Structure 1
Amino acid sequence: MSEQGAVCYTFEAAVEMAITMEEEGFRHYLDAIRRVKNKGAKQILKEAALDELEHKLSLEKALLEGQMEGAGSMERQIPTMNLGYVLAKKELSPESDAREALAYAIHLEKGAIDFYQRMAQGCAGAPMAKLFDRLLADETKHLQQLEDMYEQHFMTEN
């Protein structure tokens, strides 16, 4: 595991790292969209990719403005079911269905959460910690939405 989270970066460096993280997430989703044939799987992946683009755009705006908008926005993580620990992590194939696409998206969001948690911990007590807390809260919100969808459609109790 990298030690990059053990250090607090300047605002610009931190935002650049976050932009790179969101871009990588978007590219993973785009690759998966091109790979799968199932319409439901494509739709799930497309919506998740659009979330990544939204994050990236807000980060790029923050880079231009020198601050993150929405100072009063949510900065607390949303509890999740941690389905990433019970769902198998695997690459998608052309035959992958909506269930596999959701599991894939859950794992990608969990990776982003881990990244932002390391960054927030590295900046604990510094003004930059609030930026990462906000990004972490956004990612946990997305993860919760994906897990809720998975639970609604694929958990045995439903």
Structure 2
Amino acid sequence: MAEQGDVCYTFEAAIEMAAQMENEGFRAYLAALRIVKDKAARQIIKEAAFDELEHKHQLEKALIEGEMKGGEGLHQPVPTMNLDYVLPKKELRPDSTARDAMAYAIHLEKGSIDFYDRMSRGCEGAPMAVLFKKMLADESRHLQELEDLYEQHFMTEN
């Protein structure tokens, strides 16, 4: 997706861009499923793909309804460990492990967080800013869950 600055679009254009970004994430996971053989890695990728589909579905419903429903949830991003800075970003291969798949998903989630952060800042004060803040919070929650799993399974205590 092309880089956006701090700019706000019409509600429809902003939602379309977000749905496209979610679809690109889904397609990246789908492509990874066609490559990766490891059962645990495939499960991680499948769950992440389903999250992307759910986000896209929420956004498409917002297009139809003219607003994002179910806004009573989390609206602030949750803190993360920023593992994307220490984990190498690399393409998945047939012999990729669960660890590789988790690192791959962490990088994709971080890209989504960056997108929704830019969109929410660019739309500050506009009605769709709330939608983008909700999506940002949801993506940060997903990233935190992935990082927690990564820490639990792959980071040893010193």
Equivalent residues of 2:71, 2:134 under 8 A apart: no
Superimposed CA distance per residue, residues 112-139 of structure 1 (whole angstroms, 9 cap, x where no aligned partner): 0011111111112222211110110010
Provide the C-alpha distance between the structure 2 equivalents of 1:156 and 1:73, rounded to a whole number of angstroms. 33
Root mean square deviation, CA, Å: 1.5
SS of the aligned residue for 1:6 comes to coil
- Structure 1 range deviating more: 69-78 or 83-92: 69-78
1:42-61 alignment runs, 5 A limit: 42-61=42-61
Match of 2:34 in 1: 34
CA contact (8 A) 2:102 2:146 kept: yes
Q: What are structure 2's unaligned runs of at least 5 residues?
A: none
Residues 57-76 of structure 1 mapped to structure 2, 5 A cutoff: 57-76=57-76
Tell me the amino acid that sits aligned with residue 64 of structure 1.
I
Q: Which residue of 2 aligns with 1:137?
A: 137
CA shift, 1:4, in A, is 2.2
Q: Report the counterpart of residue 101 of structure 1 in structure 2.
A: 101
Counterpart Cα distance in 2 of 1:150 and 1:64:
37
Distance 2:3 2:62 in 1: 25
User: Following TM superposition, by how much is the alpha carbon of 1:3 offset from its aligned partner in structure 2, in angstroms?
Assistant: 5.6
Identity %: 69
Query: What is the rounded CA distance, in whole Å, between the counterparts of 1:3 and 1:122 in structure 2?
Result: 13
Q: Compute the displacement of 1:16 (Å).
A: 0.5
Give, in angstroms, the shift of residue 13 of structure 1: 0.8
User: Where do 5+ consecutive residues of structure 1 fail to align?
Assistant: none
Contact 2:6 2:119 in 1 (8 A): yes
Q: How high is the TM-score relative to the length of structure 2? A: 0.96
For 2:103 and 2:52, locate their aligned partners in 1 and report how far apart those are by CA, in whole Å: 17
TM-score relative to the length of structure 1? 0.96
AA aligned to 1:113 is I
C-alpha distance in 1, partners of 2:3/2:31? 28
C-alpha distance in 1 between matches for 2:19 and 2:65: 15
Letter in 2 for 1:96: S
Contact 2:29 2:49 in 1 (8 A): yes
Q: Secondary structure at the match of 1:78?
A: coil
Q: How many residues align?
A: 158
Q: In structure 1, how many angstroms separate the alpha carbons of the residues matched to 2:111 and 2:11? A: 22
Q: CA deviation at 1:31?
A: 0.4
Match of 1:16, SS? Answer: helix
Amino acid at match of 2:43: Q
